[in-house]
Amino acid sequence: MSIPDTAGTVYLVGAGPGDPGLLTVKARELVECCDLLVYDALVSPAIMAMANPKAERIFVGKRGGESSAKQDDINSVLADRAREGKTIVRLKGGDPYLFGRGAEEALFLLDRGVRVEVVPGVTAGIAAPAYAGIPVTHREHASAVAFVTGHEDPDKPESALDWAALSKVGTLCFYMGVKNLGRIAGELSKHLPRTTPVALVQWGTTPKQRSVAGTLADIEQKVADAGIQAPALTVVGNVIALRERLNFFEQRPLFGKRVVVTRSRAQASDLAEHLEALGAQALRFPTIRIAPPEDTRSFSAAVGKLANFGWVVLTSVNGVDALFEELDRQNRDARAFGAAKVAAIGPATRDRLAARGIKADLVPPQYVAESIVASLKDAGVFAKKDPAPRFLLARADIARSALPEQLRELGADVTETIAYTTVLETEGQDEALAALAAGEVDAVTFTSSSTARNFAEILGKERLAKALALPRLKCLSIGPITSATMRELKLPLHGEAAEHDIPGLVALLRKTLEA
Ligand code: SAH
């Protein structure tokens, strides 16, 4: 999607509160098509991932105690780059005009003749409470709501806020107020009963969301006990009473659970999104990276005469991708299969084939090599010995030998080619490693022998032993082959999926963690 005539415009875009699903359609279109993204600390990485990989990114937020870029510097970057004719998205958390200095940036740019447009966003002041079961208005509890800054200079003796007036509003939503919580509660207590409900929602709408509720009298202590820090939204008012019933987000089955996902970066999102939809925090720990084989000649040759095979067997989505990339290099397409039949090891591989226009002729009931052989046998594939049925196996360099051996025993003529290799991934593991070290992980999932092997290798003996010593940490496997490797590596095995696919693994996680 591209939006016409955007060159030289700065779009002040609200990125929403955190859940990437709460981004507006217009914001998404602009993020996808812009040349330059200038973004703040609270913009979710999932939203940044929507941008064109070629787009330039400039981070101007605060990170790890460092001070944020100076407003003057941000302003001049925006103006200079707009004059170069770039399409610029200035992405801000929540809504750009709510405590986001959006209007200051817009006025600066307009003064210099730069075209500015604004795309409002879903603000944390409404969304974070909503995801914690708190509606900001309700006919019986509050007829008005105020968005208030909680970020006042604590050394200033006089508050710029009219606390008496605020206490009459109904619902109050304080932004940036965690550090000043004591002062806020104290000022409001002069005008409201000490029993007035207060709630804080940290990292609202994200898998990291946490919330705590109390009263003006005890909220400061409760927040300290719970260790809640910025970014958090503070809500004050009787609407908080509805929280028990409306708290859909925190009542999801895996809410608050942390699960390490060890698949390759490209494949992790499938399992991770499943888990996030159930409320878990998926910690992506890519252990393998898919790369082309060192020598592609035999694979190219086999793909070159695809239609000569009776059966093409694909045992992973990576194999499907590699095959179609090779066809593309040869300037060919799905028609190259001709009359060859296609077997897929399981539903994910079948679906990836379907997306490329190929309907698999065979998907075995169990998603392992042995089951493919049995299904082929049942289908009468080996009944005729002359000529022997010809098979092409397009697989990984480390694939097991069971499949070709069993096919050959049955009289098949088998061509094995290496479609891709799996190499040890070294990047993108920091968050999961930190959570493992801090003992914050509930489960680690393994979806193949290589994910288990590389996980053990990346952690190393000492870190692995320490992480596994935690009684609450469960190690879960997708199926028997992966389980065998886990045993070999002396990894504990707390469960094996009954169905050896991602939904099967998700079902096992639910059974294990929903205690
Ligand atoms: N323009 C933003 C607010 C920027 S001020 C908006 O409209 O939401 C930053 C403050 O917003 C934080 O200190 C915190 O109080 C609040 N905030 C932003 N994202 C939040 C989230 N996901 N959960 C809770 N509070 C959040």
Average pLDDT per consecutive 10 residues, the chain (515 residues; last block may be shorter): 79 96 96 95 88 92 68 92 95 95 95 96 98 97 96 76 96 96 96 98 94 97 96 97 95 94 80 92 90 92 96 94 96 96 94 96 90 92 89 88 93 95 89 92 94 94 91 94 96 95 95 88
| Per-residue pLDDT at 64 | 55
Strand partners for 342? 312
Domain ranges of the chain: 9-121, 126-251, 258-287+426-513, 291-424
Strand partners for 63? 66
Is-contact 122 95, C-beta < 8 A?
yes
Residue 210 Cβ contacting ligand 1 at under 6 Å:
no
Residue 22 Cβ contacting ligand 1 at under 6 Å:
no
Which entry of 26, 48, 176, 321 is annotated as an active-site residue?
176
Angle between helices 369-378 and 402-409 (to 10 degrees): 20
Residue 205 Cβ contacting ligand 1 at under 6 Å:
yes
CATH assignment of 9-121, among 3.10.580.10, 3.30.450.20, 3.20.20.140, 3.40.1010.10: 3.40.1010.10
Is-contact 379 404, C-beta < 8 A?
no
Distance of CA 97 from the midpoint of ligand 1 (Å): 12
For CA atoms 38, 105, 126, 230, the dihedral sign is positive
Angle between helices 347-355 and 317-329 (to 10 degrees): 20
| Per-residue pLDDT at 97 | 97
| Residue 388 DSSP SS3 | coil
62 belongs to the catalytic site: yes
Residue 20 Cβ contacting ligand 1 at under 6 Å:
no
Give start and end residues of each alpha helix (H) in 286-409. 297-304, 317-329, 347-355, 369-378, 402-409
Roughly how many angstroms between the first and final C-alpha of the chain, as a whole number?
Answer: 45
23, 40, 42: which to mutate for ligand 1, most atoms within 8 A of CB?
Answer: 42
Q: Which two tokens stand for residue 5?
A: 């005539």
Distance of CA 124 from the midpoint of ligand 1 (Å): 5
Within this chain, domains 258-287+426-513 and 291-424 share the same CATH topology? yes
Top-level CATH class of 258-287+426-513? alpha beta
Task: With CA atoms as reference, report the closest residue to 439 among 413, 455, 463, 456.
Answer: 463
Rounded CA separation 440/280 (Å): 13
233, 236, 249, 281: which to mutate for ligand 1, most atoms within 8 A of CB?
Answer: 233
| Per-residue pLDDT at 421 | 92
Residue 200 Cβ contacting ligand 1 at under 6 Å:
no
Is-contact 197 217, C-beta < 8 A?
no
Residue 181 Cβ contacting ligand 1 at under 6 Å:
no
**In this structure, which long-range contacts are made by residues 498-502, counting pairs with CB atoms below 8 Å and at least 24 apart in sequence?**
499/367, 500/346, 500/366, 500/367, 500/368, 501/346, 501/347, 501/348, 501/367, 502/270, 502/271, 502/274, 502/348, 502/447, 502/478
Which entry of 40, 95, 442, 501 is annotated as an active-site residue?
40
Q: Which two tokens stand for residue 199?
A: 């709630």
pLDDT tens across 166-190, in order?
A: 999 999 999 999 999 999 999 999 9
| Per-residue pLDDT at 326 | 96
Q: Which CATH number describes the domain made up of 291-424?
A: 3.40.50.10090
Closest Cα to atom 6, ligand 1: which residue?
94
Distance of CA 44 from the midpoint of ligand 1 (Å): 12
Residue 102 Cβ contacting ligand 1 at under 6 Å:
no
Residue 17 Cβ contacting ligand 1 at under 6 Å:
yes
| Per-residue pLDDT at 428 | 85
Angle between helices 265-277 and 502-513 (to 10 degrees): 50
168 belongs to the catalytic site: no
Domain 126-251 indexed as CATH 3.30.950.10: yes
- Strand 88-92 relative to strand 197-202: parallel, antiparallel, unpaired? unpaired
Q: Which two tokens stand for residue 386?
A: 């002359």
Rounded CA separation 102/110 (Å): 12
Q: Which two tokens stand for residue 426?
A: 């070294």
Q: Which two tokens stand for residue 438?
A: 């801090």
Is-contact 195 215, C-beta < 8 A?
yes
Other CB atoms closer than 10 Å to residue 279's CB: what's the count? 18
73 belongs to the catalytic site: no
